[in-house]
Chains A and B, each alone.
Chain A
């Protein structure tokens, strides 16, 4: 069962680095993170790697394996040929800190800029009512484990550092969509999604969906519906006309733009 795996791991920090070769004994049932841990325990005690649950639930061990953004704990060695060399690098969109660890503060900064949920007041003891079909769309988005692989793979920021200022990225479009579809929320974030968050920069090439380890349909269920909602507000002359002559779309009643 055990065999020798050839790995190339990126070692280095802000000042530079390179891919280094390692040979490590592994078993077929293991995942890439197991192999990395064995390298760490036996050959390179200071190999920096970020991880927590090792079960695909916390989203800490994001990296790029043979060039593809993945969670190291969910990437099985049996998906590769035994003779294949597995190359692991840190995520290439965020500033590197050391070895496989990157500075993902970009995402936390964007999270702080996001308007939060605004529900009507509730008296203590009172129970809110929401129907299952009304929360289901949001629930899909809340499966997000914040591994930031979608943020990493998105070419808008991956290939264009200067867009980071104006672009929140797929993870936060997910949040916009979640709040916009929340049955009780009272805020209207469409303007903000389009302007401050840079929704228009997304050209729906769907890489975020491709890499999502939770299988969330980021593009189809969140970004495109959000774009359509912005269109409702910004570009739809029928909606504009309807407003003028008093046939109003009541979907956004009780929502205040933020």
Chain B
């Protein structure tokens, strides 16, 4: 027996939705883009090649802790014995952060699991327990991934500083190319995304009952809250920027393009 909108007590309307707008656009777009990203990221993460061109280290591989190419390991190679791609050692952190992110959860529940595909559109599943059971209950550890994400963002910031370094054959000192710019934009979006996180908002002040007794944390909370309003936007922008940064390094490394040097 059906229990949803076509259940016995509800107004008898056979349609699963009477919406006349293009409600399917958001889940469809999300599905296509996320799938494309996952395919791309999987290929790049497993490939284990073309991730470093002096001074650019692909964000997928940073920090490079495995048996990495020369010059790419700024934090040593504690996992030098690891037989697979070095990306796989660290990618769990940004991946976990995004998988358990409150925005991404909405996006993939809607577009991949269709639970629900859009508001007021019946979902196709018979049963539902939400995030109250394993494995989805694990999404509650989001804040630990956030702690890790802050560390990752710091490292990527360090990479961005290094991206002002010389390319092979250039003199010492500060240089800049299109790659540097891409890295700059990427790290800006990464920080915006990381700091606008709901867990961040909770940790900096949201958990307090008396803002009036903690004026500094209240101020921080107000800032984070403002950014939090655009969390979904930053989620998308940083997703694109990180993929573009990696793609740029890949194209440089394979020799398909040359970095446009400004100075």
Contact = CB atoms under 8 A, between A and B. Distances in A.
B47 interface: no
Interface in B201-219: 201-202, 206-212, 218
A99 to B, nearest CB: 9
Contact of B10 (A92, A133, A201, A251): A92
A218 B65 CA distance: 42
B18 A64 contact: yes
Q: Is the interface of A mostly helix, strand, loop or mixed?
A: mixed
Interface residues of B, number: 54
Q: Is the interface of B mostly helix, strand, loop or mixed?
A: loop
A51 to B, nearest CB: 18
A163 B129 CA distance: 8
A109 interface: no
Nearest to B20: A66
A203 B105 contact: yes
B257 interface: no
B218 A133 contact: yes
A102 B5 CA distance: 13
Interface stretch (B78-86, B133-141, B157-165): B133-141
Most chain A Cβ neighbours within 10 Å, of B115, B119, B123:
B119
A110 interface: no
A169 interface: no
Interface in A122-181: 131, 133-134, 153, 155-156, 158-163, 180-181
B140 A201 contact: no
B207 A67 contact: no
B261 interface: no
Contact of B198 (A16, A153, A224): A224
Interface string B105-147: 1100110000110011111010111111100110011110000
Contacts of A14: 9
18 contacts: A12-B12, A16-B12, A64-B18, A67-B17, A67-B120, A68-B21, A96-B10, A131-B212, A134-B210, A134-B212, A159-B122, A204-B102, A205-B109, A225-B202, A228-B206, A231-B140, A231-B142, A234-B140
Interface of B: 3-5, 7, 9-13, 17-21, 102, 105-106, 109-110, 115-116, 119-123, 125, 127-133, 136-137, 140-143, 198-199, 201-202, 206-212, 218, 228-229
